[in-house]
Amino acid sequence: MRSLSRAAKDCAVDVLQAQIEKYDLDSDTASLHDLSLDGNEIIDYAECFTRNENGDIVFAFGKHKGFKVIDKSDYINWMLSADFTFDTKEKAKRILNGDLI
Q: What averages of pLDDT result for each successive group of 10 residues across the chain (101 residues)? A: 77 89 86 68 89 91 94 94 96 92 78
Exposure string over 8-20, b if 16+ CB within 10 A, otherwise e: eeeeeeeeeeeee
User: Model's pTM, two decimal places?
Assistant: 0.64
Number of domains in the chain: 2
79: left (phi over 0), alpha (psi -120 to 50) or beta: alpha
Same-domain check for residues 53 and 13 = no
Gyration radius of the chain's alpha carbons: 18
Distance (Å, whole) CA 101 – CA 56 = 7
Residues 98 and 75 in one domain: yes
Strands annotated E in the chain: 49-51, 57-59
In which domain, by residue range, is 66 found?
40-101
Do both 30 and 7 map to the same domain? yes
Predicted confidence at residue 93, as pLDDT, reads 96
Residues 54 and 96 in one domain: yes
